[in-house]
Amino acid sequence: MTARRTRLIVALDTKDTAQARAWRAQTAASTDAVKLGLEFTYARGLDAVRDVAGDRPLFLDLKLHDIPNTVASAIGSLAAMRPAMLTIHAAGGHAMIAAARAAVDDAFPVDARPILLAVTVLTSMDAEALRETGVSDTPRGQVVRLGALAMAAGADGLVCSSHEIAPLRDRLGDRPVLVVPGIRPAGAAAGDQKRIMTPAEARRAGADWIVVGRPITTAADPAAAAAAIAAELAG
Ligand SMILES: O=c1ccn([C@@H]2O[C@H](COP(=O)(O)O)[C@@H](O)[C@H]2O)c(=O)[nH]1
């Protein structure tokens, strides 16, 4: 149990600018930030991302994963986006994460630095999917291993599932900002997500932020769906 407030990020996963704008407006009263990722960015470009985010805190979820020089240069190219959060893959290793850290510190003014988040093990992966990649450890073990690596290399926080919050806090304490997708309100379809919890369970587990996409965006009333999740978080 924890007293920390868990904040809500809505994932605006669409290729359609008007749709993204509509979801942003419909959920603004109940959410703390908007997430724009690969689907929207590849379809519409960074100018449209900035336009859709408007004055809302932007979680720019591009999950950078390349050689250190390329990741650092890419982060430099994102400085004008003024994101509140930025993602890289922890599996890129120490040198890549350290290069990302240095690039963030270099490219952004001190008072506008995004939270540099390292994605540990995607919430769509279970033990079997991990084994297919050559990892014999459990998702939990691999998340803690990659989380410790990422934090040692300079990340500010981690993307993980709710199931790994307790072991991450045991190993790394309060320092990492923990951002948690794989959230499904009771009765919602899991879809491709494997390591899931409800918003209330994620709050009790100690998530700093939860990320919710389809349970809001495919709802008949996205505003009501977001408000219900916010109410669940308020507990
Ligand atoms: O491990 C991860 C990392 C990122 N995501 C992103 O979060 C949202 C979740 O969307 P839902 O529709 O609620 O499943 C999506 O944009 C993913 O790219 C993740 O799910 N897991």
pLDDT digits (tens, 9 = 90+) for 18-68: 999 999 999 999 999 999 999 999 999 999 999 999 999 999 999 999 999
Q: What residues does each domain of the chain span?
A: 7-234
Does 11 contact ligand 1 (Cβ within 6 A)?
yes
In this structure, the residue with its CA closest to atom 4 of ligand 1 is 181
Question: Is 70 exceeded by the pLDDT of residue 1?
Answer: no
Q: Which atom of ligand 1 lies nearest, measured to the CA of 184?
A: 13
* E strand spans, the chain: 7-11, 33-37, 58-64, 85-89, 115-119, 157-159, 177-180, 209-212
The per-residue pLDDT for 3 is 61
Q: Do the annotations mark residue 47 as ligand-binding?
A: no
Ligand 1 mean position, distance from CA 213 (Å): 7
pLDDT tens string 97-134: 999 999 999 999 999 999 999 999 999 999 999 999 99
Q: Of 61, 156, 194, 208, which residue is the catalytic one? A: 61
The per-residue pLDDT for 48 is 98
Report the DSSP beta bridge partners of residue 11.
35
> Where does 7-234 sit in CATH, by number?
3.20.20.70
**How many Cβ atoms sit within 10 Å of the Cβ of residue 192?**
11
The per-residue pLDDT for 2 is 46
The per-residue pLDDT for 200 is 98
**Is the full-model pTM beyond 0.90?**
yes
pLDDT tens string 57-80: 999 999 999 999 999 999 999 999
Establish whether this prediction's ipTM goes over 0.90.
yes
**How many Cβ atoms sit within 10 Å of the Cβ of residue 69?**
12
